[in-house]
Amino acid sequence: MAQDYPRSYYAATRNPVAPFPRLEADIEADVAIIGGGFTGVASAVELSERGLKVALLEAERIGWGATGRNGGQITGSLSGDTAMEKQFSRVLGKARAADFVWNLRWRGHEIIKRRVEKYGIACDLKHGHLHAAYKPSHVAELEATYAAAQAHGMGDEVQLLRGAALHDLVGTEVYCAGLLNRRNMHVHSLNLCLGEADAARHMGAQIFTDTKVLRIEYGAVPRVVTAHGSVRAKQVLLAGNGYHRLGQRKLAGLLFPATLGIVATEPLSEAMAKSVLPTDIAVYDTRFVLDYYRLTADRRLIFGSGTNYTGGESHDIAGQIRPAIEKTFPQLKGVGIDFAWQGQDGISINRIPQLGRITPNVFYAQGYSGHGIATSHIVAEVMAKALTGDTRDFDIFASARMWRLPVGRFLGNQALALGMWYYQKLDALR
């Protein structure tokens, strides 16, 4: 039996969408997609728009995993961008690889904006984001990003701020500089995913929830088997990210879950909301293990902090995050916290999204390392093209050498946590 959504702000304010059934028959499709988060649902939209017969299978609910539990920020920062340029230059050359990665930064934004407009998805999509320097030694990173944006013609969309200009955007004294980016966005992520799933359904995609995949029978025409039915499809896409255990002969040791902890406060007064984020932008800071936050449509502060890279869960999310809120915004001392939740993000060791094949007709896409909203939509477009015969972008991603830890998930997470601890200590020293 599928679990209901966790008690999060997103679940409590999700749009009413007609329920999706459980698979209880043996059916056929052009493509079977396993996973009902952003990767799977966005791929279903892309493939349905191209006229393919799609069957999507989700073990829980649409957007139940990291898709419906994240911070809601859509930014042009790519985790692993330097590693991508280095890896992709082997097939593209250095200059073309740099351009390819730069354009990736914004490709997801355009897909999401077009889709929200085309299908009328109500998801509180807003523009504006600040990358905030936590220490003076972090300012060089913002300056480099600002220079790159200027060189790529984004001069009207970015602004490097200090002093009073910075405090006009965020009501705290903890930052010494910030890079405002008006192209970046934030969103009610669960409502975006539900809206996309509904759009795919109206185009003919068959979407099933409470439908856990038990196994894949590989072959010329693979068969995806569940407890109450099956899908025979020409091609299969694994899109479960950190939540599935399928295809482990190929995928073991590549991906490790990190636990995200996020809270949403009680609704703030209009005056208090303006004292925190006067222009309703989203913010994250420059630390390796960072804080990130934004306001919701009903003026709650959504605040995430201190990702747990051991893969374990917290027993007191609100208690762990409250000090970070009150340090950043002393005016919120004692503020009520109405929602506290956690979820698992899929981390790849070198931070490059992992796209590939298990067999010639069974594909996988995973590993967005904390940047999943924009990246998953880019990957969905790449995968849809590959599944319909255009593998050019897919081949670039698939060419990257992936780091594999020859241990199970528990030991792998401990190694990952040790690495993150090292970077946290560096942030504390700089």
pLDDT at 168: 95
pLDDT at 2: 66
pLDDT at 309: 53
| Bridge partners, 179 (sequence order) | 131, 160
Q: How far apart are CA 137 and CA 152, in angstroms?
A: 25
Is the pLDDT score of 370 beyond 80? Answer: no
Tell me what the mean pLDDT of segment 170-178 comes to: 97
Q: Could you tell me the pLDDT band of residue 259, with boundaries at 50, 70 and 90?
A: confident
Considering the chain, what percentage of its residues have pLDDT values greater than 90? 77
pLDDT at 415: 44
Q: Kindly give the residue spans of alpha helices, DSSP state H, lying in 333-430.
A: 372-387, 392-398, 409-429
Is the pLDDT score of 79 beyond 90? Answer: no
pLDDT at 368: 84
Q: How far apart are CA 298 and CA 301, in angstroms?
A: 9
Is the pLDDT score of 408 beyond 70? Answer: no
CATH for the stretch 1-124+187-254+350-399: 3.50.50.60
Question: Which range, of 37-51, 104-118, 367-381, averages the lowest pLDDT?
Answer: 367-381
- Share the mean pLDDT of the chain: 90
pLDDT at 118: 98
Is the pLDDT score of 392 beyond 90? Answer: yes
Is the pLDDT score of 1 beyond 90? Answer: no
**Does the domain made of 126-186+255-348+405-430 have the CATH classification 3.40.605.10?**
no
Which of the 8 DSSP states describes residue 332? G
Reduced to 3 states (helix: H, G, I; strand: E, B; else coil), residue 389 is: coil
The DSSP bridge pattern shows strands 230-238 and 26-34 to be: parallel
pLDDT at 298: 97
What count of Cα atoms within 13 Å lies in the side-chain half-sphere of residue 417?
A: 16
Residue type, 179: L
Tell me what the mean pLDDT of segment 253-264 comes to: 86
Residue of higher predicted confidence among 247 and 138: 138
Tokens describing residue 327: 């340090």
Q: How far apart are CA 55 and CA 391, in angstroms?
A: 21
Tokens describing residue 383: 């995968």
Tell me what the mean pLDDT of segment 332-346 comes to: 92
Q: Could you tell me the pLDDT band of residue 405, with boundaries at 50, 70 and 90?
A: low
- Catalogue the E-assigned strands of 175-334: 177-186, 206-208, 213-217, 223-226, 230-238, 255-265, 282-285, 291-295, 301-305
Is the pLDDT score of 189 beyond 60? Answer: yes
pLDDT at 420: 42
The model's pLDDT over 119-145, given as tens digits with 9 standing for 90+, comes to: 999 999 999 999 999 999 999 999 999
Q: Kindly give the residue spans of alpha helices, DSSP state H, lying in 208-316.
A: 248-251, 270-276
Residue 405 CB partners (closer than 8 Å, separation 6+): 253, 256, 349, 411, 412, 415
- Spans of all domains in the chain: 1-124+187-254+350-399, 126-186+255-348+405-430
